[in-house]
Amino acid sequence: MLKIAPSILAADFLHLADDVEIVNKYADIFHLDIMDGTFVPNISFGFPVVEAISKVAEKPLDAHLMIVEPWKYVERFASVGVSMLSFHYEAALDKTNETLSLIRSFGMKAGLVINPDVPVETLFPYLGEVDYVLLMSVFAGFGGQKFIESTYGRIARLKERIESEGLDIPIEVDGGVSPANAGALEEVGAGILVAGSSVFRAEDPEAAIKAMRQRI
Ligand code: DX5
Ligand code: ZN
C-alpha cells in the first residue's frame, strides 16, 4: 500500500506540535530532511528537533541525510529514535556499502538516495543491501521546487530491476510531489511519497494527504 511521508521541512516550526499531529493522524511516516550547508547549499534542523518529534511520534521517523560523511552520524540518529535512515550515494561513494551496513547494525532500515542527475543504474549494485531507495524528483536542498518529469521513467526502470532480482524494496520519491502527480507516481512503481509544501502549505492538509492516496 502507498505510504505518505510528509516532509517536516515545510511545517510551521512555531506550531510544530500541530503539524506532528497531522502526520500522526493522517499520514504514515515522518520525513525529516537533514541538511548541512555543505553537501547542499542549505541548512535545515538537527537533533533537538528530531528528538522533540520522536517523543510524540506515533509513526516511524525517516531521516533523509543531505550531509557529507553521513556515516559519522548514524549512531546519533539511532539514539534519537530514527528507524529509517537514508543518505546520498554522492556523499558516500566508496563508503556506500559500509554505511548501509552500519545503519542496519543499529537496527534501522537503510536507504540509499540519488539526485536526479545520477543514473538510476548507479543503485543497481546496492539493491541487495538496502531496505528502501529514494529517488529525488528535484535537486536536494530546498522544499517547494518543481517536480522533474523524467522521474517517472527512472522509477519504472528501477522498479523493473528490483522485480527482476526478486526483491521487495519500496521506492520513495521526494520533491514536488502533490495530489496532481501522486497517482501517476504510484502507477509507475513508487511506494512512498514524500510531500512537504503540498501537505503543510495546503489549506486542508488532511484532504491533501487523502487525495494523494487516491489514484487519479
Ligand atoms: C528537498 C527535500 C524534500 C523537500 C520536499 O531537499 O529532500 O524532502 O522537503 O519538499 P516539497 O514537497 O515542497 O518539494
Ligand atoms: Zn527529503
Ligand nearest to the CA of 177: 1
- Indicate the top mutation candidate among 142, 192, 209 to test ligand 1's pocket, ranked by most ligand atoms within 8 A of CB: 142
In this prediction, residue 214 carries a pLDDT of 86
10-residue stretch averages of pLDDT, the chain, 216 residues long: 97 98 98 98 98 98 99 98 99 98 98 98 98 99 98 98 98 98 98 98 98 82
- Provide the grid cell at 21: 499531529
Q: Which residues pair with 63 in a beta bridge?
A: 32, 85
Residue 45's SS3 state is coil
Task: Please give the pLDDT value at position 102.
Answer: 99
Ligand 1: distance of its center to the CA of 166 in Å?
A: 30
Q: pLDDT at position 133, please?
A: 99
3-state class of 213 per DSSP?
Answer: helix
Q: How far apart are CA 72 and CA 98, in angstroms?
A: 12
What is the model's pLDDT at position 169? 98
Pocket lining for ligand 1, CB < 6 angstroms: 7, 9-10, 31, 33, 64, 138, 140-145, 174-177, 194-198
Q: Among the atoms of ligand 1, which is closest to the Cα of residue 64?
A: 7
- Best residue among 67, 88, 145 to mutate for probing ligand 1's pocket (most ligand atoms within 8 Å of CB) is 145
Positions marked catalytic: 33, 174
Return phi, psi of residue 20, to 5°.
-65, -40
Ligand nearest the Cα of residue 35 is 1
pTM (two decimals)? 0.98
Alpha-carbon dihedral 95, 100, 105, 111, rounded to 10 degrees: 150
Task: Report which ligand 1 atom has the smallest distance to the Cα of 31.
Answer: 8
DSSP state of 191: -
